[in-house]
Structure 1
Amino acid sequence: MTLELSGKNALVTGGTRGIGRAVVLALAGAGARVLTCSRSAGEPAESLQRELKALGDEHAVLQADVARSEDIDRLVAEAASRFGGLDVVVHNAGVISHVPFAELTEQEWHRVLDVNLTAAYLLVSRALPVLRDGASIVHIGSKVATVGVPLRSHYTAAKAGLIGLTRSMAKELGGRRIRVNVVAPGPVETEAEVPAEVVARYQKMIPLGRLGRPEEIAAAVRFLAGDGASFINGETLNVDGGI
């Protein structure tokens, strides 16, 4: 059976935990060759490498901090060396903190914006020379971008910025048939510790009565990465259970 992403090469940032891990495994499971990264070494990266090994020898997990432009340069260079070109780029790496706006420091503002938004610009600009015509770029955004959440003004600004960046990039890169889209998850179950009362509150807000699963976000990314989404460009796909 021919897999839907067979023959495609993918680069995914922040791919060893949660949504990123599910995206990496979904793309690899669909036949793509995947290079991903983690800011730190450890069991999540090692266990992902073992899972990918079972799917083929062409996948790789590197250590890189996407807040550092030199690390992004190294990631793209490694992808070019291994694969020769890229068909899929997914910016998933992100950081978040909960800080009242009146207490938000300039340092924390830049930390969150650098990883969630500036890294997306750096990643695509560096990858552009090795992106094949018809490639798909997917940014992992957030439902909060359009609704706002207290204590997360910096995070919300970054995710809202991704939508604007995506819309403009989609118009500029369309001549090469390169598509750029956002997948915006709602509340998702990951390994992160979330108080039970917060989970219960979200469950009441979501018509489906539950939080999302990383695999459900990954399925949306896999769809946008494939040829079945060849006329979807500049869009934000909310995967949020209708919250």
Structure 2
Amino acid sequence: MDIALHGRKILVTGGTRGIGRGIVLAAARAGADVLTCYRQEGEAVDSLVRELKETPGEHHVVRADVARIDEVDGLAALAQQRYGRLDGVVNNAGVISHVPFAELPADEWSRIIDTNLTAAYRVIQQSLPLLGAGSSIVNIGSRGAAAGIPLRAHYTAAKAAMTGLTRSLAKELGPRGIRVNVVAPGVIETEAFDAMPADRAEALRATYAQKTSLARLGTVAELAAPVLFLLSDLSGYVTGETVNVDGGI
């Protein structure tokens, strides 16, 4: 069964690379009009613009740093200007770093929390006037939030908090017909693997393959599919949930 999103207006943050890019393209190909954002110019932005031009629909790729509240507010204003409403929001933008907790600087803690958590709060809050009954918010979490990962205390804290935010909003926004869920990826193979030395990439694939029930890494398409399900009417009675997409890690 193909998931149809014809005519839906979807905002996806951080949509030019990796998981976000896969979600943007999958949603556009399913018939949605997609607005997405990026922080830095580059070939990834240019190539996404080219792909979306070849995909039917009204799509927009704009620069906005979600760690800056004023730029998030501008993104919501643009959605209102271009679409007049939103039917779905995907909070995907995020950053990660690996720092021993004893050495973790306050500004790095704030950078990770602001980009991975505070941005989602502001995107959702500013999008609320555009969201009506039947709309869906999908927050991209992390399987690591439940497991805990050394050197990533700041990142896992932000992603764990995303689950709490999601559950609270599911109850608060449910009477308005707005659903809120988390999709928590395991290890997904993105273009970042292509940028690594071949031997390191293969070693990582082998390591993570041993940790999953399916004995392999996930693909971006396999992560995008449940996001589209949650954006669609097929999940009309699903809210407050965390969908782990991790190959049984």
2:123 aligns with 123
For residues 215 and 230 of structure 1, the distance between their equivalents in structure 2, rounded to whole angstroms, comes to 22
1:15 aligns with 15
1:240 aligns with 246
Question: Is the contact between residue 5 and residue 27 of structure 1 (CA under 8 Å) also seen in structure 2?
Answer: yes
1:158 aligns with 158
- Give unpaired runs (5+ residues) of structure 2: none
How far apart are 1:198 and its partner, in Å? 2.9
1:62 aligned to 2:62?
Answer: yes
- Give unpaired runs (5+ residues) of structure 1: none
1:200 aligns with 206
CA RMSD of aligned residues (A): 1.2
What is the DSSP-based 3-state SS (H/G/I as helix, E as strand, rest coil) of the residue aligned with 2:120? helix
2:172 aligns with 172
For residues 208 and 57 of structure 1, the distance between their equivalents in structure 2, rounded to whole angstroms, comes to 36
How far apart are 1:190 and its partner, in Å? 1.0
Question: Is the contact between residue 3 and residue 31 of structure 1 (CA under 8 Å) also seen in structure 2?
Answer: no
Task: Give CA-to-partner distance per residue, 1:94-114, whole Å, 9 cap, x none.
Answer: 000001111111111000000
How far apart are 1:221 and its partner, in Å? 0.4
2:230 aligns with 224
2:41 aligns with 41
Question: Is the contact between residue 10 and residue 34 of structure 1 (CA under 8 Å) also seen in structure 2?
Answer: yes
For residues 32 and 127 of structure 2, the distance between their equivalents in structure 1, rounded to whole angstroms, comes to 17
Report matched runs for 1:78-117 at 5 Å.
78-117=78-117
State the AA in 1 paired with 2:70: E
State the AA in 1 paired with 2:236: S
What is the DSSP-based 3-state SS (H/G/I as helix, E as strand, rest coil) of the residue aligned with 1:138? strand
How far apart are 1:85 and its partner, in Å? 0.1
Task: Give CA-to-partner distance per residue, 1:158-183, whole Å, 9 cap, x none.
Answer: 00000000000000000111000000
2:135 aligns with 135
How far apart are 1:197 and its partner, in Å? 2.7
How far apart are 1:42 and its partner, in Å? 1.6
State the AA in 1 paired with 2:233: D
Tell me how many residue pairs correspond in the alignment. 242
For residues 111 and 36 of structure 1, the distance between their equivalents in structure 2, rounded to whole angstroms, comes to 21
What is the DSSP-based 3-state SS (H/G/I as helix, E as strand, rest coil) of the residue aligned with 1:126? helix
Question: Is the contact between residue 188 and residue 212 of structure 1 (CA under 8 Å) also seen in structure 2?
Answer: yes
